[in-house]
């Protein structure tokens, strides 16, 4: 049952995985075709600064073009990796960051980009070294610690996961993504009440997304309050999907495994 929680924790790390892998691949293919035709000119710094305010798909197109023009462009590789991860293509995101790390092996942003993408794709072993290096090189940055927590949960290191999430929260008090992951870690360790309190607090924080609400719905369901959980889940997903999710949790809780199975593999 740990896999269910880790998937949600990765979603918190990934912020908003709302587009499909095929869409992202199409954007990269378009950029490659443009490059082959010789029609792309390097973007100015002003254009690079401005693109960050656009939607993720537009950003992915922009950075894919820049990366195709110059694969040694560290900024383009980092931004492309991060946007691909957020768009739901962590495997390709990890590939881009790993290729760039061959040129810039000490770069903190690339270490984080690779580690977080690897963790998001379930490759905790590949993620740990890069994230540990990033956390050491930038001790005040909450993001590597948050991603480390996800990776540790994936390999069943609950105490290390809790410690990493707590460290991340110390560095970024009130950050909803960290609060959500820490709450799920509490739930994994048999404390759903604390998890619910933390998730409700995360819900009202600026920047909280639908992942936080879905995690709260799950934690409520794990405490047997199925109607309340289903009503909350319906805010972000279809009625059918909400019902299916709650039915799964209900069946788990009424089986022999029950709630203590959450701490097993």
Question: Quick check: 181 pLDDT over 60?
Answer: yes
Clarify whether residues 151 and 222 are in a common domain: no
Q: pLDDT per residue over 87-108, tens digit each?
A: 999 999 999 999 999 999 999 9
Clarify whether residues 136 and 204 are in a common domain: no
Mean pLDDT of 196-205: 96
- Residue 172: name the closest of 125, 205, 129 by CA: 205
Clarify whether residues 186 and 232 are in a common domain: yes
pLDDT value, residue 28: 52
- For the record, the structure tokens of 233 come out as 């889940």
Clarify whether residues 66 and 184 are in a common domain: no
Q: pLDDT per residue over 133-161, tens digit each?
A: 999 999 999 999 999 999 999 999 999 99
Q: pLDDT per residue over 31-85, tens digit each?
A: 445 444 445 678 888 989 899 889 999 999 999 999 999 999 999 999 999 999 9
Helix H, strand E, coil C: the string for the chain is CHHHHHHHHHHHHHCCCCCCHHHHHHHHHHHHHHHHHCCCCCCCHHHHHHHCCCCHHHHHHHHHHHHHHCCCCHHHHHHHHHHHHHCCCHHHHHHHHHHHHCCCCCCHHHHHHHHHHHHHCCCHHHHHHHHHHHHHHCCCCHHHHHHHHHHHHHCCCHHHHHHHHHHHHHHCCCCHHHHHHHHHHHHHCCCHHHHHHHHHHHHCCCCCCHHHHHHHHHHHHHCCCHHHHHHHHCCCCCHHHHHHHHHHHHHHHCCCCCHHHHHCC
CB 5 within 8 A of CB 198: no
Clarify whether residues 204 and 220 are in a common domain: yes
Clarify whether residues 127 and 86 are in a common domain: yes
Instruction: Give CA–CA dist 8/6, Å, rounded.
Output: 5
Q: Which of 127, 153, 173 is the last residue of a domain?
A: 173
pLDDT value, residue 44: 87
Write out the residue range of the structural domain in which residue 43 sits.
1-173
Clarify whether residues 246 and 206 are in a common domain: yes
Instruction: Give CA–CA dist 209/202, Å, rounded.
Output: 9
CB 187 within 8 A of CB 9: no
pLDDT value, residue 189: 87
pLDDT value, residue 66: 94
16: left (phi over 0), alpha (psi -120 to 50) or beta: beta
In the chain, % of residues over pLDDT 90? 66
> Any idea what the CATH number is for the domain that residue 131 is in?
1.25.40.10
Q: pLDDT per residue over 210-262, tens digit each?
A: 999 999 999 999 999 999 999 999 998 888 888 887 887 877 676 544 434 44
pLDDT value, residue 197: 97
Question: Quick check: 263 pLDDT over 70?
Answer: no
Reported pTM? 0.77
State the sign of the Cα–Cα–Cα–Cα dihedral 219, 118, 101, 50.
negative
Clarify whether residues 146 and 246 are in a common domain: no
In the chain, % of residues over pLDDT 70? 80
Q: How many domains does the chain have?
A: 2
Clarify whether residues 20 and 148 are in a common domain: yes
pLDDT value, residue 108: 97
More confident residue, 5 or 59: 59
Instruction: Give CA–CA dist 185/129, Å, rounded.
Output: 21
pLDDT value, residue 29: 53
Instruction: Give CA–CA dist 2/155, Å, rounded.
Output: 10
Clarify whether residues 166 and 207 are in a common domain: no
Dihedrals phi, psi of 106, to nearest 5 degrees: -105, 0
pLDDT value, residue 14: 31
Clarify whether residues 150 and 67 are in a common domain: yes
Q: Give every CB contact of residue 36 below 8 A, 6+ residues apart in sequence.
A: none
Clarify whether residues 128 and 255 are in a common domain: no
Q: Which of 173, 191, 224 is the last residue of a domain?
A: 173
Q: Which of 147, 173, 199 is the last residue of a domain?
A: 173
């Amino acid at each position: 049952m740990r896999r269910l929680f880790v998937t949600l924790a990765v979603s918190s790390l990934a912020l908003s995985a709302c587009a499909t892998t095929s869409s992202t691949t199409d954007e990269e293919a378009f950029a490659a075709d443009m490059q082959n035709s010789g029609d792309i000119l390097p973007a100015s710094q002003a254009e690079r600064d401005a693109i960050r305010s656009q939607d993720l798909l537009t950003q992915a197109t922009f950075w894919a073009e820049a990366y195709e023009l110059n694969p040694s462009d560290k900024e383009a590789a980092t931004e492309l990796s991060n946007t691909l991860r957020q768009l739901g293509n962590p495997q390709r995101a990890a590939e881009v960051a790993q290729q760039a790390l061959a040129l810039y092996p000490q770069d903190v942003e690339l270490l984080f980009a690779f580690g977080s993408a690897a963790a998001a794709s379930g490759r905790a072993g590949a993620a740990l070294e890069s994230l540990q290096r990033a956390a050491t090189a930038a001790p005040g940055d909450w993001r590597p610690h948050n991603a480390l927590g996800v990776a540790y949960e994936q390999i069943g290191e609950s105490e290390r996961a809790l410690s990493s999430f707590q460290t991340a929260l110390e560095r970024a008090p009130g950050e909803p993504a960290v609060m959500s992951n820490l709450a799920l870690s509490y739930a994994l360790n048999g404390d759903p009440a604390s998890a619910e309190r933390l998730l409700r607090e995360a819900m009202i924080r600026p920047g909280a997304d639908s992942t936080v609400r879905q995690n709260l719905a799950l934690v409520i369901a794990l405490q047997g309050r199925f109607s309340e959980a289903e009503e909350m889940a319906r805010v972000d997903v279809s009625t059918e999907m909400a019902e299916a999710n709650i039915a799964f949790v209900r069946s788990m809780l009424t089986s022999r495994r029950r709630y203590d199975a959450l701490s097993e593999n």
